[in-house]
Amino acid sequence: MAASESPASSAIAVTSHDTALCIIPPSHLWSSIDKLRALYDKAFEKWPPHVNLVYPFVRVESLERSAELLQSAVQSWKQHSADGRLRIQLDSAGVFPHKHDNTIYIHDSDEDRNASLQRLRRAVLHSLGQQDAKYQMHLTVGQSDDLEGDAHHFLLDKVDSLPSIEWEASEIAILVRERMQFDGAAKSQMKLWGSISLSDGSLSRAQRPVGFYELSLKAEDSDEETAERDSLQSTGPYCYNDNTGLWEVYQHEVDDTTSTPERLVVGSYNVLAEFTWPVSRVRYPLLIKNILADNATADVLVLQEVTDDFLSCLLDNEDIRDAYPFVSHGPPAQSDIEPLPSLLNIVVLSKWPFDWEWVSFKRKHKGSVVVRFADIGFQNDDEFVPVILAAVHLTHGLTDGAISNKKIELQRILNYLRKTYPENPWILAGDFNLSSSSFTIEAALKKKAISALTSSYLAGFDDKFQEFGFIDAWSTARLEFGDSSDTDEVFEGEQGATFDPTVNVLATKIVGSGFNNRPQRFDRILIRGQSLLKVSRFNKFGFLMDKPSTDDTEEDELEPSFASDHWGVRCTLRVGRDPSEKLPDETDSLVVPVTLTPAPESLASASELSDTLSTLDVFPSEEEVYRRKNVLILLKSIILESAAVESSDGSAPQKRLKQSLILVPCGSYGLGVWTSDSDIDCLCIGPYSSQTFFALAVQRLRKAADRGVRILRRVRANTGTMLELEVQGVKIDLQYCPATAIAENWPTVLKLPPSHPVFTLSTQTLSKLKAVRDMDYIRRSVPDLAKFRTAHRLIKAWARSRGIYSAKFGYLGGIQVSILLARVCKMLARESKGPVSVPDMLTTFFSHYARFDWRHKMAFDPLYHRQRLPYTRTAREPLAILGYFPPSLNTSHAASIPSVRTIAEEFGRASNLLSEEGMTWSRFLCGDTNASTTPPSPALLDSAGAVNFTRAYKSYVKIDVQYWGISPSRGASFVGWLESRCVMVLVDLQRRLPGVHARIWPARFVSAEDAKLITAAASSGGDDDDDSAAAAPSAEASRDYQGCYLIGLEPASSHEDNATTTTTAREDAKVAAGTLQTVLHRFEEQIRGDDKYFDARCQWMSAEVVKRGDLGELCVDNRQWGGEYSPGDEEEEDDDDDDDDQEEGAEAEEAFEARGGDSEARGGTKKVKKGGKKATPPANAVVSRAGGSGKLRSALDVLSRLRWDPNLDSSDYIVGYEDRFTGAREKPLEQWKSEQTDEEFIPQHRVLYFKRQSDGVIVWERRTRKDELFGSGN
């Protein structure tokens, strides 16, 4: 019989870090430990909470043999143990100092229990042939850096505050390390290999190692924009129990008798944590005093930077407990409540019961407390929809990294709210740490502390809030009630500041010196009311001061101080739906749902779509973008005169004009969907009358002629006056809106609802503002503006190529396309689970509107018009595309039944094309062409549809237009006015001949030969610097212009009635032909009979029916002189008006400067000419005008006639004019300079007369209103 082996001869080495022998607490005890481990322990998720017995342990290949030995060791320990039980109670904290860091742990302080554990460990080591060594039982909670640092002491104190954890161990666990690779990074996790029972020593072996956590594979600073609920950190709220005198976890019980309160007061306060150890309580009494102040008392209070010590002190105050019986976190000083997870924490106190969850931002210590109120909300059918409050404390700092983190954090919580609580009212409150001072931001840019991109991020936060439907409680309340706490001596963005180093000494100590020491509005309360919550009041608090007292400092030696470096903010909300309002779902019957139609494979590439648009010059070039930006800057500087010279007393009166007058780009440029041939639409808003503004504007624009500024014409329409300008080659339409309150509160006013008193304006004023307001809402509400712009440009290119892009002809215009696309984008974003690509967006757009019932349905944005739709469609409106703001919601007033049918047909055609196999975006826009002979090009895009139109119908109505006048601008006026009347033909044809469908092409046609001449003239005129050459491509081409408009005719129904006899069909055709001629004859009479616009001496028009073969070869006339007219537009360009502009502009400017630039800022505006004493003119100046009712042709018209009429000898004429210093003088016509940059240029309003030199006859005179050339005037 062989001798038994000794332990030394069978020793198994315990040197492997891939295995461990430990004791693991029951999983229900992990929560309080893991809340801290998740934040402070580098081994969290790699290891479970554990007390090591032996680590390092045996090699993996020795586990089987070791497990057998361990079974014997456990049995041996049990035999020598008093009761065979192993009790553990973790009730104390300790530290293991290391060279580079420190391990903070909890352990059992009882010697008897430690001795039992050490006996078990000794038995295990002996069974493996190893000697016992020094052992300190511990459960690691975290690590710290500096043993003497404040952070170390705070963490050690926090760990020591953990509630005692006690259990009886039933087994010892054998762990094995499993290694893995994720995205090239090595990760490992300790998993359960098996366990040995302490009761009988039996081995329980897992089939495969079992993990304790789902290993997180996302980086801490991941850019993922979706936040997640952290169930580990989320706990129930606490409520104070008066009977026990303890804070206990609150279990909400449903009480049907509880009603929603009529108001909800929300407060937010950053209490400024103590960052030094030991903790000072000097400020605590003053903080509590401020929280309990009358101007701070709230129903729910969000606190930031709350520490364990302050929370325990706060909740120990009886007044606090009475005011706020519910709190998200209990006092850590209470033995059974765990400490707060971080050094700086968000805590919510409430008068009303709630539950809450922690939404992690992935970066440690950063997240949001999301509160759901149990009794505050509204009932939607059988479902109660509670109010949601998200409390935040975003990353601090003004650096690229800090701003990027804020952007990510904010996006995460907003996306979480949208995803989890899409229909609930939201409150977003806390310390946003968003620098608002323009001085601070500009200084940071100059010092390169932040990049330009970061600056744009800062500017985009407000847009992000608006995108999610939030309103700023401070901004709303300030506009309604004012904010008296602000001063005037602040930079932009500093009003409403809640962090003010210029006043608060504590704030000054935080930021020190530099560009950060300006007031900032860090703390905010944002509301998405969902018709339930409405802001009624807003105020700041925290202004109470006191002298802090300490043990080592006399109170008299201390200066009074504030309690925190932040002011608190408080918002009072009215709760309850207006009985007159309807629930959102009540508009569902009016909404046409949008269903995603994925793009086929041949169209699915977004890059190919962009390449196609680039090839067709749909995207403007970088040079064009830069050019237009500079043009807009130049126009603003001219209109606002920002570079005005200061007055003698050192003040700058013109700066007042700049502040009270704003210029806003709108239309396609404002929305960012413009193309290289688009005009820039601009709206000026200010406190002056339209007459005064245009007088000043015209004068300033004419002064800027040497800077490339030209006034093309002045249009007076029913909607007001408009100036058509050309600034450095870019066409600009300038309009004005007199609205003092709008200008003074710009752009904040755009955030206000239509019912706000600031919009109590005239219909005409609201009409002008509507374009900007609609544009602004679309721009900030679409889910992805870049995708929206790409899609918009393609739709516009398609509509132009198909001849349905012109609102004045009853088709689609820019605003209609924007509304139709925006509603598709937003409804797709709401319904789709992920982002929608541009190709998918476009195919859905065309598919949706191809099926749209235009006759019975209205196209509107249901995400804006959520309540009762404030619009009733009439029978006289064949098309209803509704905008957003009053006074007129329907944007399609010019539409007719024929134009709506054409639109519907084109949408159907487009949808069918996009569903064809192998379809490409190039073919879709330009048609089937041979790429080798006719590659896609901008010219093909513009001409393909028009060419097809001239071949598509058997017969057409041809409306001929001729102009042989001298003034190109008058030709433009005539052509534009005629275009605005063409829709009358369609309406009349539909009414009298319902069996005929008429389609007009929204462009003028000219013969191919004339098109070549016009193109050649334009090319030659483009190199000429003369004004007349720039105004019209060719004087001859402008004077003798012939073009036409075409209306295609076809049967309204494609189904013939087989029962109809041939005789009946012929008779019906004769009747139809007669009716058609009657309609055209009536149209001719209407046009020719309008004396205001039609002048038979230089204009002609006629309408007739022609067959397709008689059209000849036609091309689209690409000249832009027709402008964009609407019904009622008129153009007044007589020289008398020029006189008025010059004289009134000069006198208005003088009066404006004399009165400090503020003469009309608050009251009605009167003509400056009618007030005060008139200036005395020179003795020989002719300034009076004889009375007369006829309109006198302008001096410019006469000058052009004398120069260009071949029947007149220009050398035989003399110009009489008024010299500013010597009075009336004369100059030969041939020496007269028309170029404004010429040194000898004389304005046209100073021309007195034109005289024939050969016989001395005056052919035109302003004073007597004589005109022998045109017969105008008297």
Is the domain of 386 the same as that of 475?
A: yes
Is residue 1161, in this structure, part of any structural domain at all? Answer: no
Average pLDDT over residues 445-458: 86
Higher-pLDDT residue of 491 and 986 is 986
**pLDDT score, position 842:** 96
Is the domain of 491 the same as that of 595?
A: no
**pLDDT score, position 557:** 55
**How far apart, in whole angstroms, are the C-alpha atoms of residue 35 and residue 276?**
23
**pLDDT score, position 648:** 38
Is the domain of 181 the same as that of 318?
A: no
**pLDDT score, position 98:** 87
Round the average pLDDT of the chain to a whole number and report it: 81
Answer for the pair 1041, 971: CB distance below 8 angstroms, yes or no: yes
Is the domain of 803 the same as that of 762?
A: yes
Which residues are CB-contacts of 450 (< 8 A; sequence separation ≥ 6)?
A: 398, 399, 400, 403, 441, 444, 458
Is the domain of 571 the same as that of 590?
A: no
Number of domains comprising the chain: 5
Is the domain of 744 the same as that of 638?
A: yes
Is the torsion defined by CA of 658, 663, 664, 668 positive or negative? negative
Is the torsion defined by CA of 686, 688, 689, 694 positive or negative? negative
Name, of 206-215, 938-947, 973-982, the range with top average pLDDT.
973-982
**pLDDT score, position 1155:** 39
**pLDDT score, position 1136:** 40
Backbone angles phi, psi at 100, to 5 degrees: -110, -20
**How far apart, in whole angstroms, are the C-alpha atoms of residue 512 and residue 509?**
5
What pLDDT band is residue 140 in, cutting at 50, 70 and 90?
Answer: very high
**pLDDT score, position 1019:** 56
Is the domain of 823 the same as that of 868?
A: yes
Is the domain of 1114 the same as that of 1186?
A: no
CATH number of the domain where residue 1064 is located = 3.30.70.590
Is residue 1155, in this structure, part of any structural domain at all? Answer: no
pLDDT in tens, 335-365: 999 999 988 999 999 999 999 999 888 778 8
Residue with tokens 């007076």: 716
Is the torsion defined by CA of 817, 820, 824, 830 positive or negative? positive
State the residue range of the domain holding 1268. 1177-1274
Is the domain of 569 the same as that of 599?
A: no
Is residue 222, in this structure, part of any structural domain at all? Answer: no
CATH number of the domain where residue 796 is located = 1.10.1410.10
**pLDDT score, position 1120:** 62
CATH number of the domain where residue 484 is located = 3.60.10.10
Which residues, listed in sequence order, are joined to residue 23 by a DSSP beta bridge? 51
Tell me which amino acid residue 23 is.
Answer: I
Which residues, listed in sequence order, are joined to residue 383 by a DSSP beta bridge? 380
Backbone angles phi, psi at 800, to 5 degrees: -70, -40
Q: What is the dihedral of CA 1083, 1086, 1088, 1091, to 10 degrees?
A: -160
Is the domain of 502 the same as that of 606?
A: no
pLDDT in tens, 915-964: 998 999 999 998 876 554 556 777 777 788 888 899 999 999 999 999 88
- The kind and range of the H/E element at 534 are strand 533-541
Which residues are CB-contacts of 193 (< 8 A; sequence separation ≥ 6)?
A: 19, 63, 174, 175, 176, 205, 206, 209
Answer for the pair 635, 627: CB distance below 8 angstroms, yes or no: no
Is residue 493, in this structure, part of any structural domain at all? Answer: yes
pLDDT in tens, 617-669: 899 988 999 999 999 999 999 998 753 433 334 444 444 444 578 999 999 99
Is residue 1207, in this structure, part of any structural domain at all? Answer: yes
pLDDT of 256 over the 80 cut:
no
Higher-pLDDT residue of 981 and 303 is 303
pLDDT of 277 over the 60 cut:
yes
pLDDT in tens, 360-384: 887 788 889 999 998 898 888 778 8
Is the domain of 1181 the same as that of 1119?
A: no
pLDDT in tens, 151-192: 899 899 999 999 999 999 999 999 999 988 776 778 888 999
What pLDDT band is residue 1031 in, cutting at 50, 70 and 90?
Answer: very low
pLDDT in tens, 1210-1259: 888 999 988 867 778 898 988 888 766 566 778 888 899 999 988 888 99
Residue after which a domain boundary falls, among 547, 575, 603: 575
Answer for the pair 339, 162: CB distance below 8 angstroms, yes or no: yes
Which of 26-35, 62-71, 596-605, 964-973 bottoms out in mean pLDDT, i.e. has the lowest? 964-973
Average pLDDT over residues 287-306: 94
- 3-state secondary structure at position 737: strand
**How far apart, in whole angstroms, are the C-alpha atoms of residue 531 and residue 469?**
12
Is residue 326, in this structure, part of any structural domain at all? Answer: yes
CATH number of the domain where residue 174 is located = 3.90.1140.10
pLDDT in tens, 1082-1103: 999 888 888 888 888 888 899 9
Backbone angles phi, psi at 651, to 5 degrees: -85, 165
pLDDT in tens, 1162-1213: 333 343 343 444 443 333 333 333 334 467 888 888 888 888 777 788 888 9
**Model pTM?**
0.56
Name, of 215-224, 302-311, 926-935, 964-973, the range with top average pLDDT.
302-311
Which of 606-610, 864-868, 1056-1060 bottoms out in mean pLDDT, i.e. has the lowest? 1056-1060
pLDDT in tens, 879-915: 999 998 888 889 998 899 999 999 999 999 999 999 9
Is the domain of 567 the same as that of 613?
A: no
Name, of 719-733, 745-759, 926-940, 1145-1159, the range with top average pLDDT.
719-733
Q: pLDDT exceeding 70 applies to what percent of the chain?
A: 82
What pLDDT band is residue 90 in, cutting at 50, 70 and 90?
Answer: very high
**pLDDT score, position 227:** 54
Residue with tokens 């193109």: 1015
